[in-house]
């Protein structure tokens, strides 16, 4: 009996040793990039999610680049991943989508954003859904409808904030943008006085767990995140069902497009795809833009010479008007060259998206290495945006570095709004909101920082203590 126990124990040790060896030394038909797969099952997930307060390249990335070079392997949340900080490789990955790579995110993200979210759609289906979104947020809609709506929303919000002793800017701008976007997408009127009945509160619970470690049991941030999604999705589904019975005349919103598409005989759209898309659009529109706006105001507060130049650009726009009380025009928006530089420099330093994921469809040879089929590739925007070889003093807020550079699209060295065929369809809408907000803020108001403003990355950007400011009207 004793010998049998020893034999079973020995066999178990051998099996575990073999399994651990296989984990740390994955099979590959070529040469894998250098790196470590971390602990079995856990990989290097804990190090990846470790909080840091720096605006520099995340320590997880920086330490491994120093040790292994710009292309290395790791394992995150049980998935083997190749991390790229090389601008040329990143560009290749984006350009080869649909041929060698496809959009991919970890299962935990898919749980949060939905199995049919736009990031999980490929090929013709992705282009189909993208065109639906462009009907509402494309150039013509921005120019003719959204610009005045954004200005009206911003003016109303700033006027209200100026009556308060203190405003937590991240939450305030998120609420402002959510109200605007929800009204445009689903004709939803946000009422902050009724938290138990409003969609915004469910998204707040969702956000708290989005950048947390993916442990789904009661009490964890990730569990609360999933519960927030569940409640938000129920509200969206109820709204869509209610919309089917409504007949009154009003401006067409996203739900109207959805219903029209669902009625077509050969439609590719399903209710599940539409609801997941709505969820992603609502989240992305207000969360990312509010982070960028908060950081922009923080930078302007810390760099008065930049604020002075920005203010001069916007006051010059007012002075050129025949009627100083006229509303912003599309031509005025497009003339804001320094504002565009401020926005680009803000999102370059913000690095709101810490990683962009793709998955290899086949074994792919890149330089002397092979990326095995089925492995994920994480393009790392912070490493590109903070590369001292491309950006002098990369951690310095210097909008003038964008003078003479292309500012509208993506490039090998700038991917704040993605890249390739998945360049963010809401990019121009985000820039319009930021430009209009800055225009109203610097021409009609002054502000002072009161407290907060510190950032934490886990790995996404957040303001754990908020950024509290006091706003008052200018009296010339």
Which tokens belong to 115? Answer: 């199995």
Q: How far apart are CA 365 and CA 83, in angstroms?
A: 15
Where does residue 84 rank: exposed (0-12), middle (13-18), buried (19+ CB within 10 A)?
Answer: buried
pLDDT tens digits, one per residue of 94-121:
999 888 998 887 766 777 676 655 555 5
Cβ-based neighbours of 278, under 8 Å, separated by 6 or more: 185, 186, 236, 254
Task: Assess whether pLDDT exceeds 70 at residue 464.
Answer: yes
Which of the residue ranges 112-116, 253-257, 299-303, 376-380 would you say has the lowest mean pLDDT?
Answer: 112-116
- pLDDT for 196: 44
Segment among 77-81, 128-132, 291-295, 373-377 with least mean pLDDT: 128-132
Q: For the beta carbon of residue 420, count every other beta carbon within 10 angstroms.
A: 21
Using alpha carbons, select from 447, 449, 426, 425 the residue that is nearest to residue 438: 447
Comparing 73-77, 169-173, 269-273, the range with the smallest average pLDDT is: 269-273
What are the structural domain ranges in the chain?
26-115+352-385
Question: C-alpha distances in angstroms, 384 versus 53, 58, 60, 248, 463?
Answer: 19, 12, 15, 50, 23
C-beta separation of 410 from 381 below 8 A? no
pLDDT score for 331? 95
* Contact indicator for 401, 392 with CB cutoff of 8 Å: yes
- Residue list for the binding site for heme: 424
Which of 50-59, 112-121, 157-166 shows the lowest mean pLDDT across its residues? 112-121
Q: How confident is the model at residue 445 (pLDDT cuts 50, 70, 90)?
A: very high
Mean pLDDT of the chain: 84
Distance separating alpha carbons of residues 395 and 10, to the nearest angstrom: 54
Q: Tell me which residue has tokens 């109203």.
A: 440
Q: What stretches of 69-120 show up as alpha helix (H) in DSSP? A: 87-95, 107-113
DSSP assignment string, 442-475: HHHEEEEEEEE---EESSSEE-TT-EEEEEEE--
Q: Which residue, among 102, 28, 83, has the nearest Cα to 361 in the 3D structure?
A: 102
What residues pair up with 378 in beta bridges, in sequence order?
Answer: 83, 357
How far from 102 is each of 70, 131, 228, 357, CA to CA, in Å?
21, 19, 28, 9
How many C-beta neighbours within 10 Å does residue 159 have? 14
Strands 467-473 and 461-462: unpaired
Identity of the highest mean pLDDT range in 77-86, 204-213, 269-278: 77-86
From the list 260, 434, 425, the residue with the least C-alpha distance to 344 is: 434
Average pLDDT over residues 51-72: 94
317: tokens are 């726009």
Assess whether pLDDT exceeds 90 at residue 293: yes
Q: What is the CATH number of domain 26-115+352-385?
A: 3.30.43.20
For the record, the structure tokens of 273 come out as 């795809």
Q: Please state the pTM of the whole predicted model.
A: 0.88
Measured CA to CA, the distance from residue 423 to residue 94 in angstroms comes to: 10
Q: Identify the weakest region by mean pLDDT among 10-19, 21-30, 185-194, 455-464.
A: 10-19
For 178-230, write each residue's pLDDT tens digit: 888 888 877 777 555 554 456 777 666 666 566 556 677 787 777 877 887 88
Kindly state the average pLDDT of the residues 1-23: 59
Closest CA to 68 of 55, 85, 80, 51: 85
- Give strand ranges (E) for 127-240: 167-168
Which residue in 145, 203, 141, 152 sits closest to 425, CA to CA?
A: 141
Provide the strand spans (E) within 159-243.
Answer: 167-168
pLDDT at 148: 92
Q: List residues forming the annotated binding site.
A: 424
């Amino acid at each position: 009996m004793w010998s049998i126990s020893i034999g079973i124990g020995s066999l178990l040790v051998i099996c575990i040793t073999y399994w651990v060896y296989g984990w740390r030394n994955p099979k590959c038909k070529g040469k894998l990039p250098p790196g470590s797969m971390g602990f079995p099952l856990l990989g290097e997930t804990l190090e990846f999610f470790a909080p840091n307060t720096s605006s520099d390249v995340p320590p997880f990335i920086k330490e491994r680049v120093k040790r292994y070079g710009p292309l290395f392997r790791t394992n995150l949340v049980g998935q083997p991943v190749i991390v790229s900080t090389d601008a040329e490789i990143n560009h290749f990955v984006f350009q080869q989508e649909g041929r060698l790579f496809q959009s991919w995110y970890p299962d935990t993200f898919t749980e949060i954003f939905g199995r049919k979210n736009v990031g999980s759609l490929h090929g013709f289906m992705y282009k189909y859904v993208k065109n639906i979104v462009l009907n509402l947020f494309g150039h013509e809609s921005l120019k003719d409808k959204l610009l005045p709506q954004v200005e009206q929303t911003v003016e109303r919000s700033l006027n209200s904030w100026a009556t308060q002793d203190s405003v937590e800017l991240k939450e305030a701008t998120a609420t402002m943008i959510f109200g605007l976007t929800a009204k445009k997408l689903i004709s939803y009127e946000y009422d902050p006085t009724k938290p138990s009945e409003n969609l915004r509160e469910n998204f707040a619970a969702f956000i708290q767990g989005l950048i947390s470690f993916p442990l789904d049991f009661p009490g964890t941030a990730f569990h609360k995140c999933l519960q927030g999604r569940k409640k938000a999705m129920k509200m969206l589904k109820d709204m869509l069902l209610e919309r089917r019975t409504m007949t009154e005349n009003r401006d067409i919103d996203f739900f109207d497009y959805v219903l029209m598409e669902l009625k077509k005989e050969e439609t590719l759209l399903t209710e599940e795809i539409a609801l997941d898309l709505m969820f992603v659009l609502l989240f992305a529109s207000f969360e990312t833009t509010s982070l960028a706006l908060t950081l922009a105001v923080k930078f302007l507060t810390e760099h008065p010479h930049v604020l002075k130049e920005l203010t001069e650009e916007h006051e010059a726009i007012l002075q050129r008007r025949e009627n100083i009380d006229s509303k912003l025009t599309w031509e005025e928006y497009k003339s804001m060259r320094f504002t565009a530089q401020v926005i680009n420099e803000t999102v370059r330093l913000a690095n709101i998206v810490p990683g962009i994921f793709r998955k290899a469809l086949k074994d792919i040879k890149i330089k002397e290495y092979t990326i095995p089929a089925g492995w994920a590739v994480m393009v790392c925007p912070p490493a590109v945006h903070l590369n001292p070889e491309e950006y002098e003093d990369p951690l310095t807020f210097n909008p003038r570095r964008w003078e003479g550079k292309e500012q509208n699209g993506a490039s090998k060295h700038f991917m704040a709004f993605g890249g390739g065929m998945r360049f963010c369809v809401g990019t121009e809408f985000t820039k319009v909101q930021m430009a209009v907000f800055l225009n109203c803020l610097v021409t009609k108001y002054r502000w002072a920082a009161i407290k907060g403003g510190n950032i934490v990355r886990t790995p996404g950007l957040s303001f754990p203590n908020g950024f509290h400011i006091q706003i008052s009207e200018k009296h010339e």
